[in-house]
């Protein structure tokens, strides 16, 4: 569960610290209220493509930090342990984008590749937008939902281990 989102020098935002309570979080608001910037920041933290246009004019870099409570996410904690990125019961993702477009990603203050960040983040957050229902038509998503409903996490982890050998 996302607990905090910190944004520095992203688009028009100089600094923003957002703390979220436990449970469902919903972003609503009028046009121009900043919802898209929050989603851009979260997407950046989760491994979306970086762009130098994200950096606030006059700043050397943009930075986004997202902290997640993992107390109820044993599979995610196991992934962190397998990749030697484990922490306590939380994970801190940090992503920076320099004015020249280069980006860096960190999980629990350790540098990671964008691919590793995307793999990790793929199980953390589900964002539903206006056309999110289209995702349900994808075979990969249908398999994921079926495996989740069947409680196949341990079996999938075992299969993944055999595949990587």
pLDDT in tens, 47-81: 999 999 999 999 999 999 999 999 999 889 999 99
> Is the pLDDT confidence value at 148 over 90?
no
Residue given tokens 């979260």 in the structure block: 42
Q: What is the mean pLDDT of the chain?
A: 90
> Which tokens in the block code for residue 106?
């960190």
> Is the pLDDT confidence value at 133 over 70?
no
Predicted confidence band at 131 (pLDDT cuts at 50, 70, 90)?
Answer: low
Beta bridge partners of 105: 95, 112
Residue 104 or residue 153, greater confidence: 104
> Is the pLDDT confidence value at 83 over 90?
yes
Put simply, whether the predicted model's pTM sits higher than 0.95 gets the answer no
Residue 35 or residue 92, greater confidence: 92
Beta strand residue intervals within the chain, DSSP E: 2-10, 13-19, 61-69, 90-98, 103-107, 110-112
Contact 42, 127 (CB under 8 A): yes
Max CA pair span of the chain: 51
Of 6-10, 97-101, 105-109, 149-153, minimum mean pLDDT range = 149-153
Tell me how far apart the alpha carbons of residues 88 and 69 are, in angstroms, rounded to a whole number. 9
> Is the pLDDT confidence value at 113 over 70?
yes
> Which tokens in the block code for residue 155?
């079996």
How confident is the model over 3-40, as pLDDT tens digits?
A: 999 999 999 999 999 999 988 778 888 888 788 899 99
Contact 105, 47 (CB under 8 A): yes
Percent of the chain residues past pLDDT 70, beyond the cut: 96
Query: What pLDDT, on a 0 to 100 scale, did the predictor assign at position 126?
Result: 73
For the residues of 43-60, what is the DSSP string, one character each? HHHTTPPP-GGGBPTT-S
Question: What's the DSSP call for residue 16?
Answer: E
Vertex 45, ends 117 and 18: CA angle to 5°?
145
């Amino acid at each position: 569960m996302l607990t905090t989102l910190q944004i520095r020098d992203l688009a028009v935002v100089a600094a923003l610290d957002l703390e979220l309570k436990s449970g469902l979080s919903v972003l609503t608001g009028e046009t121009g209220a900043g919802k898209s910037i929050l989603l851009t920041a979260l997407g950046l933290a989760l491994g979306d493509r970086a762009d130098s246009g994200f950096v606030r004019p006059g700043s050397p870099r943009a930075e986004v930090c997202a902290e997640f409570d993992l107390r109820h996410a044993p599979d995610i904690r196991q992934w962190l342990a397998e990749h030697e990125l484990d922490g306590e019961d939380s994970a801190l993702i940090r992503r920076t984008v320099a004015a020249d477009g280069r980006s860096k990603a960190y999980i629990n203050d350790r540098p990671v590749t964008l691919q590793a960040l995307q793999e990790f983040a793929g199980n953390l957050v589900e964002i539903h937008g206006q056309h999110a229902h289209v995702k349900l038509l994808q075979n990969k998503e249908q398999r994921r939902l079926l495996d989740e409903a069947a409680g196949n996490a341990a079996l999938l982890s075992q299969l993944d281990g055999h595949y990587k050998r």
